[in-house]
Amino acid sequence: MSLLNSVQELEKKYRLTANQRALLISDGSTTTLLEAFTGQTVLVKGRSQSIVRADARLASELQVEPKSEVSKRIVHLVSGGSSEILAYAISYTPIERLSPALLHDVQRTDIPIGKILKMHKIESRREIKEIGFIRDTHFKEIFGSECGMYRTYLIIHQNAPLMKIEEYFPLRSDEHYESSVGHRSRDE
């Protein structure tokens, strides 16, 4: 099924705007898209940065050995104009695939991933793995709404995943969404 078909399936539950559809299926930089949509600079606000050990599932997704070291970075993408939080993103990067310079920039947490790739002239391709709706009480304090949409994708470089990224975007909490999407926890 094409990504457009997946979006059309989602839209049977909840009608998306053109911009929301683009955020789910574009293979370009998310920050650049958000800058185009808002007409404002988008800032990256680091929430946390840590080195974790890949569990079996993450190791399989990243094509590394289980328990390999992975840089986990959580950021908010924030409008430079309104200070509104436009997206919440988690990236997982196997340490063994990063040059020291690249690791340094990933760990800084104030540079968008797209800009890091551009600065280091990294050639890559993006494989979108999943798109969908999600409801999470945790989003209430971030987006002002428990209702969101998400996508997960891999950034492939030299035939191996350089990063796995999860992105979450707000949706208006309304009756239609509530009844059609229902509640899920993020750990499901």
Q: Which stretch binds a second copy (CB under 8 A): 16-24, 99-107, 140-148, 178-186?
A: 16-24
How far is the C-alpha of 141 from the C-alpha of 37, rounded, in Å?
23
Q: Which is nearer to a second copy, 124 or 152 (CB)?
A: 124
Using CB under 8 A as the criterion, what x/- string covers residues 65-104 for binding a second copy?
A: ----------------------------------------
- The SS3 of residue 35 is helix
Using CB under 8 A as the criterion, what x/- string covers residues 167-186 for binding a second copy?
A: --------------------
The minimum distance between CB 125 and a second copy, in angstroms, equals 5
Who contacts 67 (Cβ-Cβ below 8 Å, separation ≥6)? 53, 54, 59
Query: Residue 136 pairs with which residues in a beta bridge?
Result: none
CA angle 25, 30, 32 (to 5 degrees): 125
Q: Which is nearer to a second copy, 47 or 126 (CB)?
A: 126
* Contact by Cβ (8 Å): 159, 152: no
Which of 43, 59, 74, 156 is in the footprint of a second copy by CB under 8 A?
A: 156
Sign of CA dihedral 140, 135, 161, 55: positive
Q: Which stretch binds a second copy (CB under 8 A): 55-63, 153-161, 163-171, 173-181?
A: 153-161
Sign of CA dihedral 125, 66, 106, 43: positive
Using CB under 8 A, list all residues that contact a second copy: 3-4, 7-8, 11, 18-19, 21-22, 24-29, 32-33, 35-41, 114, 117-118, 121-126, 156-159
